[in-house]
Structure 1
């Protein structure tokens, strides 16, 4: 009887190895998608927070009043960063950008002073910016509020469409991941069916039989998740090496949650599938195992 058990255990080892590798590959695919989702969100935030809104001031507004208005804007929740650009600073920037000294030609500076700010990402959409614009125009010192309205509208539409596509892919891939991991583990447990039945025939309880397999499944799920995480880290390393700009958009907190999620998914699905398979073989008759 001991020899039968040892023989079965030896036969099960290759299945465990293939099971671990198979689950690791599936978790790697899921983790890669999660990484894409994280960076897509950060990329969207990056573009949104780099759209500049110009609050153009009237000619009779002095620097002290403009600075006070700038300080007030800095306290608003929709403002991420803000700066005051005087008429002279605007003229210097124009000269630097276009290489022409129009002041010498016109003998005056026709540009307006402005307060330029970049909004927090959640406010960069047509509806929110329209509310912000209306509030700013209520101030008698404000002449006009300018920003690229078409760009904001197009950006919001594209982000919404991409979000729907990614959500659909995520749901489909999550279902596929659960099914693939479940089938991979069930195949691994198939080679242990005679060992499970033999232990039951000699009087072992179901809990006693299932316990070592459940513990092994937890270890296997953890190993699979760690292998998947290592693979994702390698991808992240080479992606950052080729595109250094990615490092500025990386959110290590979200990436940490992603890795923790992969570990949890690997362990839970592995444990659930293994325990279910053990119970299945315990309920079958001996002749049904062949």
Structure 2
């Protein structure tokens, strides 16, 4: 009879552990998906910003040597990601193709100018910074005119800030839910052993001695849940990359590293704290309070 009861208790314990691990894994999976969106949104925002270019239209009397010196000086600037030189002849070909006719032959001269497109680094794509760069080159002796899409820069900056703000709010909200759900799962697991905790305390075991195995059990369950969550995220990331290859999820090792470490860290911290406070609560209860 005793062996049957022991077997029943072990099955209940395994079932309890299994449900806790699955609960933790599901919560961490959802948190990981949100973390991936947050991390990747920053990368996508930077990619969009780095498509912004400031165009320098050069004066007609600027020599090839002077143009080359200007290009070399631009490459040394902190804000420069890439520069593209477009000669007036190349520009004429582009415009002629768009118009469907050779306007140079019609006009008898090429009115276009040599230009340099400066593609900026993401950190410098903000209205005030782009304007500062534009004003600076407007005073350059080689530059006839500086042009950039002011409306695009303002719209891009405003929308990215707005989206980032709401993403942070959503991640904070779901992060709080994740903490509460994992905490509840751990507390239920500890609740089933509350009499064991009180028995150990009554025979003279210290609080730290009693807490230690429970904390290690909680952390172990958290790590198992984290491994399952990471497995689910790996499958999800693989299929997303197959469908939307432009995101380059599988080759973005930095984002994947941050995501993996974040999931493991969240699992460790939440399960450790939840187990600590749950055991502490039952340690502080009187024996007759355990039944309520």
Stretch moving more, 196-205 or 158-167: 196-205
Q: 253-262 or 54-63: which moved more?
A: 253-262
Verify the 8 A CA contact 1:5 1:195 in the aligned structure 2: no
Q: How many pairs are equivalent?
A: 290
CA displacement at 1:47 relative to structure 2: 0.8
Query: CA offsets per residue over residues 25-66 of structure 1, 9 Å max, x none?
Result: 111111111110111111111111012221001111122211
Which residue does the alignment assign to 1:75? 76
Distance apart, 1:139 and its partner CA: 0.7
Using the alignment, how far apart are the partners of 1:152 and 1:66 within structure 2? 27
Residue correspondence of structure 1 range 61-210 to structure 2 within 5 A: 61-210=62-211
For residues 217-259 of structure 1, give each alpha carbon's deviation from its aligned partner in whole angstroms, at most 9, with x where no partner exists. 1111111111111111111111110011111796321331221
Output one character per residue of 1:112-148: Cα deviation in whole Å (capped at 9) or x when no partner: 1001120001111110011001111111110111111
Preserved CA contact (<8 Å) 1:46 1:249: no
* Deviation by residue 1:120-179 (Cα, 9 ceiling, x = unmatched): 011111100110011111111101111111111111110111121112112222222211
Larger deviation: 219-228 or 187-196? 187-196
Of the structure 1 ranges 164-173 and 232-241, higher mean CA displacement relative to structure 2 is found in 164-173
Distance in 2 separating the partners of 1:21 and 1:249: 26
Q: Is the 8 A contact 1:8 1:194 kept in 2?
A: no
Segment of structure 1 superposing worse, 95-104 or 115-124: 95-104
Write the deviation string for residues 196-235 of structure 1: whole angstroms up to 9, x where unpaired. 2333344433333222211111111111111111111111
* Unaligned runs of at least 5 residues, structure 1: none
Residue aligned with 1:172, SS: helix
Q: Distance in 1 between matches of 2:242 and 2:195?
A: 51
SS of the aligned residue for 1:37 comes to helix
Q: What is the rounded CA distance, in whole Å, between the counterparts of 2:112 and 2:249 in structure 1? A: 35
Task: Report what 2:212 is aligned to.
Answer: 211
Superposed CA RMSD in Å reads 2.2
Which is further off, 197-206 or 142-151?
197-206
Cα distance in 1, alignment partners of residues 158 and 123 from structure 2: 14
SS at match of 1:194: helix
Report SS of the residue matched to 1:204: coil
SS of the residue corresponding to residue 81 of structure 1 reads strand
Cα gap change, 1:16 to 1:248, in 2 (>3 Å): closer
Q: Which runs of 5+ in 2 are unaligned?
A: none
TM-score normalised to structure 2 length: 0.92
